[in-house]
Structure 1
């Protein structure tokens, strides 16, 4: 009886003491999950961005291998998934998987199995990234993950500007230095990729600063917007200018606190203008010829950042996010604005369109001027002929294209000028040329599913901070689509990762709580992840071995060069590059019959790459087989008739320099 009384009297006290303890454990685990999500997302962005934008084959395949095997191990031991992905997220994953499968199917008709395998690995890298974020982020930490991505994007902009102002501290812009150009290319090695990143970061900073509950978060986000704008400016990219304007419009469209966005946009624009004026007053900074004037530019940036941070804090203190323009005022203003735009378009639109079209189709290099910004006033360039050739490729092979990653070979055969072109500089046309109509439909489905996921989250969220995070990455994705429509941003890995990772992170908001997979489903997913990881391995090993073989050959170590070349062939037997490298090593060693045999294998794997035939012609010449050499040389000429090597050939006739 006493024992029963004791239990009766002490049990409620035990429960009451246990409840706060349980709540503390839950709170601690939530904090840990959020910190891990923030740091993980931040690290993800920085790793992809600061390794040359992860454009290099070896780099992005290393990332893909790690991501897929983390997924495989996590699913196998039961750590993943932390949350069940929502239906819109599963649709996005399904679209990526379908696109990857069609890319794999193109191996059956491609002009280069090696290059198509590279593109398959790239798509699987993106699929793995979206899958990883979808199963590791949930309702409790998705916004922390999005914050990590946002902060990382803005930090990269600061590092990019730093490479222009203080290269000894932040690293030299190697692309600009090597090519002797004034366009900011660090850290991606390509100015238009940096411009896309800057425009996307502008969208992220504006949206985040207008909605975040944290004063520090608002201040940091808006303070770095002028830095992002200056990053885009220093690339002197026309697409970057358009992307920045689109960023503002997209943020206004997707935001809840539009008036705050307008205030922040005006202040950030003023700060960015101040920084741009400082750059224009420092010719060495503007033209990438030195660092004189960097202190002035830095001072302008610091002042702009302080101004933006102060305004962001003030709008938060005065709860500007709650301000609304009365509907009776909004409607007349909106109608007047629409009428003004239509009227202006009717008056000056036709003339502008004609001028723009003439400029766009006038395929010369950009305007030459001592002022780097002069090119912004013209649409002249080389996109038009490249896009025409891409359409010609689609007309020739509308069902399947030429195979993923092979546009370069088609361009070589049908080019209108000798410029080297690897990609069609347009996501949609490139898919038409390489993967036919199904490829175009699949990439459209992929982008629509990503947009649908972001829109679904934006419509569902109630908190202002959640709406801001969603608007930030939804706007960034829209800006990405603009840049992908005029350049090879799909292949610029870091830029595409920022776009897809942002959508995947906010999409985790719709996921449900953690669930347990049944063992058949778990086993199937582990197998899928392991296979996707293994796809990255052959190209990773082969390309690394080829580079080491080339390095050994340069130092005169022929035996080591041959050993590495053999490893490259064994790792990726369908690689024409591996056979070519081994053939070159054998040629250097004087083993001409074996070298010729390897070049024959290279031409059989990539019969439309002129360079293999040209090397083969040289080796046959060295063997004294002039008829075969002439045939190979002529084949190479047909495959790239406008190549500079053939334009120069007549000047070397009779010198013994060629067949």
Structure 2
């Protein structure tokens, strides 16, 4: 074998190793906390912060750098952490400032690791890792339910919640995985696995009962189509439709038959295998596309008319938001301090009901951290979304940008910020959008 061919093979192997490391980093973002109640209790926050910081330092030492968007997002997150920690000086007694600051520091270290350790050439691998991690958590959720039977929780009824401990967190994480599975086109087995995971995660989303995640998924699909290359938009829409049809049919079967045990596993397997083995919907002729739209409409009508799943939860979100906004008006400059909403609710909410979070990232930021905290929070969301819009037409950015929009929408309706598994996955998508662009003339593998 010639020396030139040996050098070329060595370079290819190095590139493969770098892609594997990026995929492993993406998977670790969700698996590191996903199996321990979504990271809500912060048992591993310190260890993960140290680990992510070490990854960021090593990435910087080996040539990693920041683009303007990445530097802006990281700077905003550092400022948000500092403002959160500083709020200890004005927080009302009993506020959980240390816990909130620790969580913000975890997110800062994670974003730094993602930006310094991955680059433009590793964007696809990073998204694949995220998708794999989310799919694993979905599999764990279904297997836990199948093994234990139909578990009735006093808060969540029969909604699927484990291993995260909160149905809406599992729902939005599944929805994020659906977006990546639908939008990230890959040839061969990898592409089939992605399409299969998208349909399977629609089932998981349905079993979680998360209406907010379903709404955010619709918005994300619109963004995915809008940000994609013009010629690929019909195909993306058909992939989304196929995932919704197959996953929705499995969910309908599970609700209709009150599925549990082996039957639930069968339904999940059929959803995954059906989507994986079918012809890529993006390559379907126009006639098949029209038939699919009609079938989807008919299936949706049947599901709504026949299934009518029982709502097992009650939402008090407007009451939470009203209490938080009243607190913001009472303390208009600085807010009541990070981690103080449970005290706000104790004063302003009904007696006998403990609530820790305002169920909206933006409302809670205003209530606890004042206008400055809200501005920093909005900036953290706006920087990746504006970057995705500027780079529309890039298929990788379209997928990551749409997934991040899903998080931004759902965070307005729930306490995603307090569930690290959700926020870390969203930061992974933000890092893909904000990855430092290649130098002119640089060959990329995306």
| Corresponding residue pairs, total | 419
The answer on whether the counterparts of 1:250 and 1:475 sit within 8 Å (CA) in structure 2 is yes
2:76 & 2:391 partners in 1: Cα distance? Answer: 18
Q: In structure 2, what is the equivalent of residue 448 of structure 1? A: 382
3-state SS of paired residue (1:486): coil
Q: In structure 1, what is the equivalent of residue 254 of structure 2? A: 279
Change in 2 beyond 3 A, CA 1:508/1:112: farther
Of 46-55 and 439-448, deviating more is 46-55
Q: In structure 2, what is the equivalent of residue 392 of structure 1? A: 326
Aligned pair 1:82/2:63, yes or no?
Answer: yes
Q: TM-score, normalised by structure 1?
A: 0.59
Deviation at 1:324, TM superposition (A): 10
Q: In structure 1, what is the equivalent of residue 6 of structure 2? A: 21
Q: In structure 2, what is the equivalent of residue 300 of structure 1? A: 267
Deviation at 1:67, TM superposition (A): 1.8
Q: In structure 2, what is the equivalent of residue 494 of structure 1? A: 421
Which of 222, 225, 239 lines up with 2:212 in the alignment? 239
Q: In structure 1, what is the equivalent of residue 443 of structure 2? A: none
Change in 2 beyond 3 A, CA 1:381/1:138: closer
Q: In structure 1, what is the equivalent of residue 344 of structure 2? A: 410
- Structure number with higher relative contact order (C-alpha < 8 Å, ≥ 6 residues apart): 2
Change in 2 beyond 3 A, CA 1:17/1:275: closer
List aligned pairs for 1:508-547, cutoff 5 A. 508=435, 510=437
The answer on whether the counterparts of 2:359 and 2:412 sit within 8 Å (CA) in structure 1 is yes
The answer on whether the counterparts of 1:203 and 1:472 sit within 8 Å (CA) in structure 2 is yes
Deviation at 1:397, TM superposition (A): 1.0
3-state SS of paired residue (2:121): coil
Which of 401, 405, 416 lines up with 2:335 in the alignment? 401
1:313 & 1:39 partners in 2: Cα distance? Answer: 27
Deviation at 1:417, TM superposition (A): 4.2
Aligned pair 1:186/2:162, yes or no?
Answer: yes
Aligned pair 1:258/2:233, yes or no?
Answer: yes
Structure 2 residue ranges without an equivalent (≥5): 288-306, 441-446
Change in 2 beyond 3 A, CA 1:314/1:178: closer
The answer on whether the counterparts of 1:215 and 1:312 sit within 8 Å (CA) in structure 2 is no
Deviation at 1:252, TM superposition (A): 1.9
Q: In structure 1, what is the equivalent of residue 101 of structure 2? A: 120
1:87 & 1:60 partners in 2: Cα distance? Answer: 28
Aligned pair 1:160/2:160, yes or no?
Answer: no
3-state SS of paired residue (1:394): helix
Q: In structure 1, what is the equivalent of residue 366 of structure 2? A: 432
1:54 & 1:511 partners in 2: Cα distance? Answer: 34
Deviation at 1:456, TM superposition (A): 4.2
Deviation at 1:61, TM superposition (A): 2.8
3-state SS of paired residue (1:141): helix
The answer on whether the counterparts of 1:401 and 1:434 sit within 8 Å (CA) in structure 2 is yes
List aligned pairs for 1:102-181, cutoff 5 A. 102-112=83-93, 115-167=96-148, 177=153, 179=155, 181=157
2:433 & 2:134 partners in 1: Cα distance? Answer: 16
1:185 & 1:405 partners in 2: Cα distance? Answer: 24
Which of 298, 305, 311 lines up with 1:375 in the alignment? 311
1:231 & 1:112 partners in 2: Cα distance? Answer: 40
The answer on whether the counterparts of 1:139 and 1:508 sit within 8 Å (CA) in structure 2 is yes
Coordinate RMSD, CA, aligned: 2.8
1:31 & 1:226 partners in 2: Cα distance? Answer: 28
Q: TM-score, normalised by structure 2?
A: 0.86
Deviation at 1:307, TM superposition (A): 2.6
